[in-house]
Amino acid sequence: MVIDITRSEAAMSLQFDFFQVDPKPIPSQIPGFEEAHGSATWPPSTSTYIWDDRGGLLVDTLITLPEAGRLASWVKGHSGPLTNVYITHPHGDHLLGLPAILDAYPDARAVALADSIEDMRGQTDPAFLEVWGSFFPGQLTDRPVIPDPLVGTEIGIGDASAQLVPVGGSDTVHSSVVFVPELGLAVPGDVVYNRVHMWMFQSTPESRAEWLRALDAVQTIGATTLIAGHRHPQAPDDDANRQIDESRQYILDFEAALAASTTPPELVARMEAAYPEFGNPYTVWLAAYTLMS
């Protein structure tokens, strides 16, 4: 199911909307997960469209060709021609849908911060694509596109512009946030999650501390609304400060649970008890069994 929810604000005719896909089944690598929860899943994901009558900006492009095709059709239902596509960070689940978008909008320009380009190339390396393909067999592009490096830290949206804010590491390196001051809107990719278990897979104390600093940087931006790259379909709202505070607390709680646990099931039990309403529990199982095995 695709959830299409509009969040429109009047500011020099600038508006925004987001497209959301539900969790997708993937093969489980963790013993006991399917008995406890059913099918393992990839977390729910979003793409955000910001536009006025003269042009539009799409932030992130999902991963599979079918969902990226639906995303392209959804964008066509909005006024304002798509002129720019921005990828917030080097993860394939935000990048690999790009060919379907550019097929539908051949005049659109795809960009990302220059520092992230090399890691995006890594995500489209044949060996890495084989890993992604094992999660989504027959659903991924065989001709991935790498965005062009963006010059500067602004990108046009018709008569307006968005600020691109580098924040360092989150669940991956070279993460960035799209901020539209006229709308009070932040689109942070994976830096902030909304009621979904956060990606602690292969994290370290140092990377988790860096993620906390990234959250502080997002809060400093001063957005009022935030569309997380991974958002629970039944999230209560898109309030920026609530999501940042919850994401910060999740990392701190994970750190404490990891220190207090001696086995992966202990860590899972602590985090599931602390966050019973959070979506995509497979994420925390995967982190526990890789960090403690």
Domain extent, residue 25, equals 2-291
Alpha carbon of residue 159 to chain centroid: 26
Name the percent of the chain lying above pLDDT 90.
95
Condensed to tens digits (0 to 9), the pLDDT of residues 101-111 reads: 999 999 999 99
The residue with greater pLDDT, 109 or 79, is 109
| pLDDT at 12 exceeding the cut of 80 | no
pLDDT band at 79 (very low <50, low <70, confident <90, very high): confident
Residue 293: predicted pLDDT? 81
pLDDT of residue 167: 98
Where do the DSSP E strands lie in the chain?
2-7, 15-21, 24-25, 41-42, 45-52, 55-59, 82-86, 109-113, 148-150, 154-157, 160-168, 175-180, 185-187, 193-194, 225-226, 230-231
CATH code, domain with 64: 3.60.15.10
So what's the pLDDT on residue 2? 37
Per residue in 185-229, pLDDT tens?
999 999 999 999 999 999 999 999 999 999 999 999 999 999 999
Q: Residue 229's pLDDT is what?
A: 98
Judged against a pLDDT cut of 80, whether residue 6 lies above it is answered with no
Model pLDDT for residues 239-258, shown as the tens digit of each residue: 999 999 999 999 999 999 99
- The full DSSP string for 21-83 is E--EE----STTHHHHHSS-EEPPEEEEEEEETTEEEEE---SSHHHHHHHHHHHHTSSS-EE
Closest CA to 51 of 78, 74, 73, 70: 78
Domain count along the chain: 1
